[in-house]
Structure 1
């Protein structure tokens, strides 16, 4: 074994003859090198340790003698092998540590060495870096608990020795071309029993699933993505969702039910875009229960069976209409919901009193059950007349107890002015969508539906076309329009959505935003803001009904509502600001 740096052998002195080479021997003392010995020169012997002819002193070569220039040893700080005496037995990094950190006992190995900010010497720190798990912090105590791995000095930072090799990267797979024409079957196999699938197993299996559905829809997905400006991430989400549907459906050629698509979020799938692709491919089957049907069931489940069956007949006619005499048109779900909401308390009261069928209801019972006045009475009268007229026409009841009820008039509310400060704050909103929507309603009295359905082609040369109205845009509306169009082009540069207002959900499709956009981020409501604008114009124009009809496209009856309304703003309320005030 080679002698260490603390061996008794020291760097020998120089020869007193040539003053360049080292003396031949220190013990016994010889003050000359072999070339300068009296009677010489003499040939130096080979190294007694390695046999090298590069003699240095004391029978050793320059690599075996502790004082030789090529003698290697361990770093006194990190114990790394491969340092020289001329560098004070320290590696390059430890020499830097010695000038930046104090020397003190290490908190983890107890050695006295330069200690960093974490309380660890460099050896403990390098050991912790070797065993560092990705995604976790460095554990100095745990890494140095069972020993330390030595390393070579002045080398790059050692890599993790216990980390398993990374798995080979799987090549990118694209769905292959269909092996045969994909012909979906018309029928849908009903499930014998519902079975809950393991999301992890389904997701892992769908990762490499490449069935006929995926192959058939691959080109449709590419064309749909290119046409609607989908991102790569959105396109890949749809492909993964199609593989999920291919994985857990019962038959390969079966059409996809909407209820199956709605379960995709359980497996991190996409709903809306996947439904667009399946609908474009003609593979989507609508099997969702209408919301009005669910609402009806929740409101009538406690009623007696005969009464509930009669109500179901009425609901079917209201939803689908009737092509046989007496013919009826289908009604809007919102109107049906209002009538169900008004009729349910009355029907519940009759059921509690012992009435099991609507055939037992008399005119007096109907008159006594109706609310005294107000909007609830109007809706209840409408619902009663509709319910009993349908049941009487279908011969389910013998009489129509609601026949004597007078036709209710339309409930008319009084329009009131809004707080000017709230309108000004909304017009100055940093959100360009809010500022433009509020400006269109505040200056041109558009309805919420009209605002959402405005298309880019409806705005030409500073004029807005809304139905039969050709509206010159007000001066405060134009800068807000430019700001929104710049934001729209910057955020969704590839969208082909024709509507003026788009959102993150509607940008890759051809639909208009929902009823809550962008009003859910404001304290204003479009109907109240529209009424405020019309009310201000009615009183500013002296109650000219014809002017209101021409300006806002209203009927005479609707204009009279604003002309007859009193303008009594509170100290903090006023009419909507004019274009000069905005």
Structure 2
């Protein structure tokens, strides 16, 4: 900057009166350098509010980066909370009332959200900055309302969603002990799976369940390679992959698909020299024989004192609904003693009607003002409009909806003497899916009627 044209740079003279230092990785543009237009930017490289790894500078959001984090003074924060109104509460007041009316919030919950907004106003770095979702999570230490406050901020356009997703948490848990180079390569693969790619090989974003299945399949294999001394996937040969798949029994199919996806992405990004999975045939899907459950265990859960457990088990045990179908059932799907699932109209069995009435009574007594349209709700979803999680109400039970559904279909295939057409129409199965149960007709352990739960 101080060099005279045509002369060499005098470093000693430039530093005689001191040297100007700069913070690294800050936003800096030389004069005369035109900014890139939106078309010139690579949209697949811009994380925006997704913030996949959480390592992007805050300056990307137009917010000054913090030099260091400092815990707020609780006395000062409490004094700010006691104020009647502030900019944030006034801006979100109408949205709070709208959410309260639509979701059936109680007066206490509405006041909790307003109080949480006052706390967040005191925690904001500037009075007009957006609020990160990870900062909202700090409300727990101040007895604030987290989920409903996030909903209000999102509706107001003031939320920066930077919470790690389920896929990211699962990925970190499975890869945190790997060598650094392997971990960096896997992060590139995860980014392509999550956001897709516009460069060769082009790829659309994958579903979160597909990504988790890929990670589940390759996780034991890559840890075995790391334990054997490999530090990069560029060191993996075709023989290593073949040997690893030969040792994999139950997850061979998903492991092969995951490895193909991984090495195809790394080769396309030129992180490895060659794709060792190129030309490899897909492993066949593993199949198993469905087995009957113990009738005493099913009866025990059907008679559970918890009405939501008894209803969920009854819906699967008598009508073979999937766990997802049970979660997504709405109150309007029950009409005149029938259950509407997709294009199927299912007459409800007598035991299911009894448990349905008991659950609706409990639901109305516990959450009389809820506006959640789903049949199954809990304390977390009652003030919102979302379905319950996949673990509700199965967490802590000995039964799982998948094996319970298999037991019901298995009973039906034996009761009808192998009538695939009837089983397909009754449970919405494909012919291939129903044939899996047909193969059990000659199995001697599956013909004992005393192991079945009586159906109505």
The bucket for the TM-score relative to the shorter chain is: 0.7 to 0.9
Match of 1:347 among 209, 222, 237: 222
Mean Cα deviation higher: 249-258 or 332-341: 332-341
Specify the alignment match of 1:205 in structure 2. 80
Answer yes or no: is 1:475 the counterpart of 2:350: yes
2-structure distance, mates of 1:442, 1:461: 21
Q: Deviations over 1:257-307 (max 9, x none)?
A: 101111101111110111122122222110123343344344444444443
Specify the alignment match of 1:500 in structure 2. 375
**Cα–Cα, structure 1 residues 513 and 352, in superposed 2: closer, same or farther, change >3 Å?**
closer
**Cα–Cα, structure 1 residues 252 and 572, in superposed 2: closer, same or farther, change >3 Å?**
farther
Specify the alignment match of 1:432 in structure 2. 307
2-structure distance, mates of 1:264, 1:501: 28
Match of 1:238 among 100, 107, 113: 113
| SS of aligned partner of 1:470 | strand
Specify the alignment match of 1:31 in structure 2. none
Specify the alignment match of 1:71 in structure 2. none
| SS of aligned partner of 1:263 | helix
Answer yes or no: is 1:248 the counterpart of 2:132: no
Match of 1:196 among 62, 71, 84: 71
**Cα–Cα, structure 1 residues 521 and 346, in superposed 2: closer, same or farther, change >3 Å?**
closer
Match of 1:441 among 291, 308, 316: 316
User: What is the correspondence of 1:143-162 to structure 2 with a 5 Å cutoff?
Assistant: none
2-structure distance, mates of 1:535, 1:308: 44
Q: What CA RMSD, in Å, does the superposition of the two structures yield over aligned residues?
A: 2.4
**Cα–Cα, structure 1 residues 573 and 343, in superposed 2: closer, same or farther, change >3 Å?**
farther
The answer to whether the Cα contact below 8 Å between 1:538 and 1:563 also exists between their aligned partners in 2 is yes
1-structure distance, mates of 2:144, 2:317: 41
The answer to whether the Cα contact below 8 Å between 1:418 and 1:529 also exists between their aligned partners in 2 is yes
Answer yes or no: is 1:292 the counterpart of 2:164: no
Mean Cα deviation higher: 504-513 or 321-330: 321-330
Shift of 1:489: 2.2
2-structure distance, mates of 1:432, 1:348: 44
The answer for unaligned runs of 5 or more in structure 1 is 1-184
Answer yes or no: is 1:491 the counterpart of 2:366: yes
Bigger relative CO (Cα 8 Å, ≥ 6 apart): 2
Shift of 1:435: 1.8
| SS of aligned partner of 1:465 | strand
| SS of aligned partner of 2:64 | coil
Shift of 1:529: 0.9
| SS of aligned partner of 2:395 | helix
The answer to whether the Cα contact below 8 Å between 2:106 and 2:369 also exists between their aligned partners in 1 is no
Answer yes or no: is 1:576 the counterpart of 2:447: no
2-structure distance, mates of 1:300, 1:522: 30
| SS of aligned partner of 2:346 | strand
Specify the alignment match of 1:225 in structure 2. 100
Q: Deviations over 1:420-477 (max 9, x none)?
A: 1222222222322122211111111000110110111111122211112111112222
Match of 1:321 among 196, 218, 231: 196
Specify the alignment match of 1:535 in structure 2. 410
2-structure distance, mates of 1:539, 1:555: 18
| SS of aligned partner of 2:384 | coil
Specify the alignment match of 1:559 in structure 2. 434
**Cα–Cα, structure 1 residues 427 and 345, in superposed 2: closer, same or farther, change >3 Å?**
closer
2-structure distance, mates of 1:291, 1:472: 37
Match of 2:183 among 308, 315, 328: 308
**Cα–Cα, structure 1 residues 266 and 198, in superposed 2: closer, same or farther, change >3 Å?**
farther
Specify the alignment match of 1:273 in structure 2. 148
2-structure distance, mates of 1:425, 1:470: 28
The answer to whether the Cα contact below 8 Å between 2:80 and 2:122 also exists between their aligned partners in 1 is yes
Mean Cα deviation higher: 306-315 or 341-350: 341-350
Mean Cα deviation higher: 519-528 or 435-444: 519-528
1-structure distance, mates of 2:396, 2:168: 31
| SS of aligned partner of 2:192 | helix
User: What is the correspondence of 1:540-551 to structure 2 with a 5 Å cutoff?
Assistant: 540-551=415-426
- Structure 1 runs (4+) deviating above 6 angstroms are 570-573
